[in-house]
Structures are given as structure tokens and as C-alpha cells.
Copies of this chain bind each other. A is one copy, B any other.
Amino acid sequence: MGLEIERKFLVLGDDWKQLAEPVFMRQGYLSSEAGRVVRVRVEGQSAMLTIKGKTIGISRGEWEYAIPLADAKELLDGVCQQPLIEKHRYRIAIDEVVWEVDEFFGDNAGLVVAEVELTSADQVFVKPSWLGEEVSHDYRYANANLFKHPFSRW
């Protein structure tokens, strides 16, 4: 088990866009139940099956397995809950941390969030100028919620 410690923020403006090249991600859920999330994700030519346990504060257990790309496509199109989540991810390194900025498409178009993975809950990090309100504890912004309750319908 890995332990995932993340903080999540809204994003202001689009100055961040010039800082990295996006990769396209397509993901769906076999379970979107909080505490028992099972995600299938395709990024380029690689695919992962990820299980996320209970969130305690800002950390939670995570178990991740590489799976064949063909399997992932079958699972996304034939087994996962619909609709899928599609987004561009920009990985932006600033000082000690890497920001993952996700720009959503489809029913979540207009939503941009930035996540940073920390090594401890009290790790200090520099906040880039394009960082807005923190939403770490707001379940509406969880990807496992966004496909059911997309941003455009909030």
C-alpha cells in the first residue's frame, strides 16, 4: 500500500498553461463508493488499475497496478460507470513539488484543479500565483464524484 497525501486547489487564469505540455487522460470507475474507489485510467499507451481506500484527513491508502492497455479499453467502454472523465493533465515542477493541473472536458469543461502530492501532511511548499481556493476537503471535486455530478450542472 502507498499512502497518498494530497492537497487540491482551484486554479486562476491560464498562466500555468505555458509551463508544461499536457497529456490526455481517460478514466472511469468500477466503484465510486467513498472509501472503496476502483479506477481504470489510460494515459497515452499505459493503463493503470487503482484502488483508493478511506480518506483520513488529507491522506488515504492507494494500491496501483499496471494492466494491459487492451484490458483497460474494454473495462472503460464496457464495464465502468458512465460517462467517463476526460482531461488534460499538466505536470508542473515548482521547487520541491510537482503540481498536477487537470483541465477537464465534456460536462466538466471550465473546471481546472491543481493537486500536489506531499510526503507528509505538514510539508511546506510554495504556492504558485495561479493557485486559488483550497478544495482538499470538498468531495464535489473528487473525480469519482465529477462524472456523476459534473461541474456544468452545479
Question: Within 8 Å of chain B (Cβ to Cβ): is A75?
Answer: yes
* Residue in B38, B49, B74 whose CB lies within 8 Å of A65: B49
Question: Within 8 Å of chain B (Cβ to Cβ): is A61?
Answer: yes
Q: Give how many A residues have a beta carbon under 8 Å from the other chain's beta carbons.
A: 22
Chain multiplicity (copies): 2
Known: A31-B31, A38-B31. A74 touches B63 (CB 8 A): yes
Binary B-proximity of A41-59 (CB < 8 A = 1, otherwise 0): 0000000010101100000
Nearest chain B CB to A117's CB is how many angstroms away? 20
CB-CB under 8 A from A134, the residues of chain B are: none
Known: A33-B31, A74-B1. A79 touches B65 (CB 8 A): no
Known: A30-B38, A35-B79, A38-B38. A74 touches B49 (CB 8 A): no
List residues of chain A with CB under 8 Å of any chain B CB: 1, 30-31, 33, 35-36, 38, 49, 51, 53-54, 61, 63, 65, 67, 71, 74-75, 78-81
